[in-house]
Structure 1
Amino acid sequence: MNLIEDWTKIRKHFNQSFKTNLHVSIASVDEDNNPTVTPIGSLFLNDNQAGFYFEMFPSKLPKHAKNKKNICVLGVNSNRWFWVKSLFKRKFDSYPAVKLYGQLGDKRKATDQEIARLKRRMRMTRGLKGHKYLWGHMDMIREVSFQKGESINLKEMTREL
């Protein structure tokens, strides 16, 4: 998978993954080299093999960003119809899962445009009681840059991708 050539497909995959899972998983390593995984519901990919997530709830990723910035982000399309259709056809029409390898960047105040992207994504939950608690006061983001992308290989079912 070529990160630059396939970036549009990768972004599309992560948007679809969010629709089915409401999060991605970010793996990082602590100061003792122990792996850990953090669910993040606010990862946004930009046009330039980079992105950001809103950093309000994660506690381990900010600590890891100080010394061991390497991460792996996993996005899985868990849509049942996508899987049933693919199993019936014996092939996937698009990636079932993609891993992005990158580095945690700076933490900074979100721009108005970044906050607008979050509001658009979470608009369907606006009327729910927990919406304001979870997404009402997010204003700090962590930048992320990616150096490598990898689609999940499921042999014959992903051969044509």
Structure 2
Amino acid sequence: MKIDLTKDWIKVKTHFRKCIEANMHVVVASVDASNIPTVTPIGSMFLNDDQTGFYFEKYATKLNKNSKTNGHVCLLAVNNGKRFWLKSLFKGNFDAYPGIKLYGELGEKRDATEGEMRAFQRRVRYTKMLKGHQYLWKEMNMVREIKFTKAEKINLGKMTNHL
């Protein structure tokens, strides 16, 4: 079922924020030059206020390569929070979307702005003292923009019909 990108954008952004908090990533699907699909988990996805977003492209090598021949992507964000699901199963319906797919087109890879780097550092601040923090997130300075063109909710029958 379609979601109005303009009217429902705040709901979409809220959903993606909750999914990043619960799962630490969203999944991005792309297609290579031979039309072979692949998915990439991205923990650095951010949505802007204008139906666009960006992610830090340090490890997403297949997305970078696929963008050269086909820039269309589909993002999937599912709220896997146990409390969210147990509450919904008990009630017999979801209070919010359990999952949303966003369709879009990749923009050019570019240097991250100071604001984008601050946003990412805020997201990973709780891991700053951990050894893996430096290994994974040192020198995160290149982003790729995405312009979203369509959104759909995940349909789970009677549990989501009212959304």
Please, what TM-score do these two structures have when normalized by structure 2?
A: 0.97
Is it true that 1:127 corresponds to 2:129 in the alignment? Answer: yes
Is it true that 1:102 corresponds to 2:104 in the alignment? Answer: yes
- Deviation by residue 1:81-132 (Cα, 9 ceiling, x = unmatched): 1000000000000000000000111100000000000000001111100101
User: What is the match of residue 146 of structure 1?
Assistant: 148
SS of residue paired to 2:29? strand
SS of residue paired to 2:68? helix
User: What is the match of residue 84 of structure 1?
Assistant: 86
Between Structure 1 and Structure 2, how many residues are aligned? 161
1:160 Cα deviation from its structure 2 partner: 1.4
Q: Which amino acid aligns with 2:81?
A: N
**What is the rounded CA distance, in whole Å, between the counterparts of 1:150 and 1:47 in structure 2?**
18
- Deviation by residue 1:32-81 (Cα, 9 ceiling, x = unmatched): 00000001110000000000000001111011111100000000100001
Identical-pair percentage: 53
Match of 2:46 among 28, 37, 44: 44
**What is the rounded CA distance, in whole Å, between the counterparts of 1:45 and 1:95 in structure 2?**
17
Q: Which amino acid aligns with 1:103?
A: E
Unaligned runs of 5+ residues in structure 2 are none
User: What is the match of residue 25 of structure 2?
Assistant: 23
Q: Which amino acid aligns with 2:39?
A: V
Is it true that 1:111 corresponds to 2:120 in the alignment? Answer: no
Q: Which amino acid aligns with 1:35?
A: P
Is it true that 1:159 corresponds to 2:161 in the alignment? Answer: yes
Q: Which amino acid aligns with 2:54?
A: F
1:151 Cα deviation from its structure 2 partner: 0.4
**What is the rounded CA distance, in whole Å, between the counterparts of 1:127 and 1:96 in structure 2?**
32
1:152 Cα deviation from its structure 2 partner: 0.4
SS of residue paired to 2:10? helix
**What is the rounded CA distance, in whole Å, between the counterparts of 1:35 and 1:67 in structure 2?**
13
Q: Which amino acid aligns with 2:149?
A: Q
**What is the rounded CA distance, in whole Å, between the counterparts of 1:127 and 1:5 in structure 2?**
40
Between stretches 58-67 and 114-123, larger displacement belongs to: 58-67
User: What is the match of residue 136 of structure 1?
Assistant: 138
User: What is the match of residue 70 of structure 2?
Assistant: 68
**What is the rounded CA distance, in whole Å, between the counterparts of 2:7 and 2:129 in structure 1?**
39
Q: Name segments (4+ residues, structure 1) moved above 6 Å.
A: none
Q: Give the superposed CA RMSD.
A: 0.6
